[in-house]
Amino acid sequence: MPAHVTTCRCGFQRDDLPVAATFTAPAPAATISSASALIRVAAALIVCAGVSVGWFLWTRRESRDSSTAARATVRLAPVAQADARPQTPTPVRPADPAKDPSTTPDEAKKNNDAKNGNDASPALEDLVARVGPAVVAIETSAGRGSGFFVEKDTIVTNAHVAGNDLSVHVRLSSGNTLVARVDRVATDFDLAILKLPSPIENQAVVDLGETTRVRPGEDVVAIGSPLGVFQNSVTRGIVSAIRLNGPVTLVQTDAAINPGNSGGPLMNRHGVVIGINTMGVRNAQGISFAVGVDHARELLSGRHVATTDSTPIRALNDSLQSTSTSDTDMARAKAVRSYESTLANAARRADQLDSYWRRFKADCFDGSIGGGFDREWFSVFETDKMHGTVSPACHNSFAYIQNEAGTIKGIVALAEESARKGDVFPGVRRDLRQKYRLDYAGWDR
């Protein structure tokens, strides 16, 4: 047996080998087999772990892709259902945005402004530059006021500005002066229409709005000739309120309206006329009134029919006086009404005498009348103003005129005395005499 073998397969064991020759045998086969098994188990575990990790990552990705697809399906599902059934109509807002509960106050104001042309206001200086040339100063025998062009040959102003004149002088913003005819007068609205002989080329005009669209609180601008000398002066303010005074609509404003502004335009911030300035309340700051523009439209169209002989100014004064509980104020108001009633009766008698005087002057008087009287026959009270002679054949006619004139003078003189005792203010008496063409300084003589 080989020298390196210590044990034979037959069982014999050698022990005679030298120590140096001793050989360490390899590990038993059983031991080698156990190690190999462990290696295989470890490898299997590693493979299983790798497979598990891969499976986990793969299933998670599949889950995420499924969720994404599910969400996409959910989003698309309503569209598909909507396409499969009739479309529901979009709700329509009420015609008046202010009455829509879903509309905020700011939105309601914006919608209303847009409807009325107030949504894009120009700069104030641009507005004045555009509409200022349409505003004019008016000079009459009774005083001065303002007006404005609505057509190239048509001007709107106040009736109390035009007075009783048949023609007036119109001073344009350029300084040129023209003569205009008083075409129509509505004393119940305190409005008058003036006509030029021919249209003015390139003359600026203003647009007329509607009083029904005016809102308290909106900005307004007034242009006129305060005190009759400061032509095309501009004041601004707001609409304080819309007032009904009898049949007349008045726009109350805190914009300054001074004597001379009467007849000028009250405009919104787009230069659209909403009223015709008519008066400011004395001894009260920030209270002025303009006649609603709708009344001017009615007069311009020729559809106006007077329903009262009262003027907006007088009606407003009566309203202001009626708010007082003073017995003195009530007595004064009663005296004013009585005074005006007497003047109205005297004026009707004076109108008849006017007609007789015209025939008398044409047939019986050779000369001219001086003095600038409201009615020419007032000259019979001052014969030095009759520059001429009465035909000898007409002395009876002249005596009739003197007698009738004396009767009218007596009526007016008594009315004046009664009004003074009733504490009717001198300015009120003067305005009423001018209204009825009975303003004569010699009633007391």
In a domain, 119, yes or no: no
Tell whether 306 and 333 lie within a shared domain: no
What percent of the chain has a predicted confidence (pLDDT) above 90?
31
How is residue 68 written in tokens? Answer: 């994404």
Domain with 227, as residue range(s), is: 124-319
Q: What is the mean pLDDT of residues 361-377?
A: 84
* Domain match, 298 and 331 both: no
> pLDDT tier at 373 (50, 70, 90 boundaries)?
confident
- Please give the residue that has the higher pLDDT: either 148 or 422: 148
Are 202 and 147 within one domain?
Answer: yes
- Looking at the predicted structure, is the pLDDT value of residue 83 above 50? no
Q: Do 415 and 401 sit in the same domain of this protein? A: yes
Q: Do 281 and 334 belong to one domain?
A: no
16, pLDDT greater than 70:
no
The CATH number covering residue 297 comes to 2.40.10.120
Better-predicted residue by pLDDT, 366 or 289 = 289
Is residue 163 situated within a structural domain?
Answer: yes
Q: Is residue 110 part of a domain?
A: no
Yes or no: say if 338 and 428 are a contact pair by the CB < 8 Å rule.
no
Average pLDDT of 35-53? 68
pLDDT tens digits for range 263-284: 999 999 999 999 999 887 766 6
256 and 237 within one domain: yes
**pLDDT category, 245, cuts 50, 70, 90?**
confident
The reported pLDDT for the residue numbered 61 is 60
List, for residues 88-144, the tens digit of each pLDDT value. 444 444 444 444 555 455 555 545 554 454 456 778 888 999 999 999 999 988 788
- Among the residue ranges 64-78, 230-244, 354-368, the one predicted with the least confidence is 64-78
Grade residue 153 by pLDDT with cuts at 50, 70 and 90: very high
From residue 102, alpha-carbon distances to 91, 95, 96, 115 in Å are: 12, 13, 12, 19
**What's residue 319's pLDDT?**
57
Exposure on the CB side of residue 55, measured as CA atoms within 13 A: 6
pTM (global) more than 0.75: no
Residue 378 shares a structural domain with residue 420: yes
102 within a domain of the structure (yes/no):
no
pLDDT of 13: 62
What is the average per-residue pLDDT within 1-15?
A: 61
Pairing of strands 191-195, 288-292: unpaired
3-state secondary structure the chain: CCCCCCECCCCCECCCCCHHHCCCCCCCHHHHHHHHHHHHHHHHHHHHHHHHHHHHHHHHHHHHHHHHHHHHHHHHHHHHHHHHCCCCCCCCCCCCHHHCCCCCHHHHHHHHHHHHCCCCCCCHHHHHHHHHHHEEEEECCCCEEEEEEEECCEEEECHHHHCCCCEEEEECCCCCEEEEEEEEEECCCCEEEEECCCCCCCCCCCEECCHHHCCCCCEEEEEECHHHCCCCEEEEEEEEEEEEECCEEEEEECCCCCCCCCCCEEEECCCEEEEEEEEECCCCCCCEEEEEHHHHHHHHHCCCCCCCCCCHHHHHHHHHHHCCCCHHHHHHHHHHHHHHHHHHHHHHHHHHHHHHHHHHHHHHEEEEECCCCCCHHHHHHCHHHEEEEECHHHHHHHHHHHHHHHHHHHHHHHHHHHHHHCCCCHHHHHHHHHHCCCCCCCCCC
Q: What is the per-residue pLDDT across 334-344, written as a single tens digit (0 to 9) for each?
A: 899 999 999 99
Q: Which of 30, 45, 63 is the last residue of a domain?
A: 63
- Residue 23's pLDDT band (boundaries 50, 70, 90)? very low
Residue 130 within any structural domain of the chain: yes
Q: Looking at the domain assignment, is residue 17 inside a domain?
A: yes
| pLDDT above 80 (res 403) | yes
pLDDT of residue 316: 64
Beta strands 272-280; 207-208: pairing state? parallel
Q: Of 34-48, 98-112, 229-243, which gets the smallest average pLDDT?
A: 98-112
List the structure tokens of 373. 């009287």
Instruction: Please give the Cα distance from 303 to 402 (Å, whole number).
Output: 42
Establish if 114 belongs to a structural domain: no
Q: Which of 74-88, 163-177, 204-218 has the lowest mean pLDDT?
A: 74-88
Distances (CA, A) of 276 to 42, 192, 428: 108, 11, 22
Choose among 53, 56, 52: nearest CA to 64: 56
pLDDT of residue 96: 47
Q: What is the count of structural domains for the chain?
A: 3
Which of the two residues, 425 and 306, has the higher pLDDT score?
A: 425
* 173, 198: one domain: yes
Kindly state whether residue 83 falls inside one of the protein's structural domains.
no
Residues 303 and 370 in one domain: no
User: Are 301 and 427 members of one domain?
Assistant: no
Mean pLDDT computed over every residue of the chain: 78
* Among 110, 122, 160, 120, residue whose Cα is nearest residue 140: 160
Better-scored residue on pLDDT, 392 or 106:
392
Q: What pLDDT was estimated at residue 62?
A: 55
Residue 163 and residue 301 in one domain:
yes
Q: Does one domain contain both 256 and 381?
A: no
**Domain stops at, among 279, 294, 319:** 319
Mark which of 63, 79, 104 sits at the end of a domain.
Answer: 63
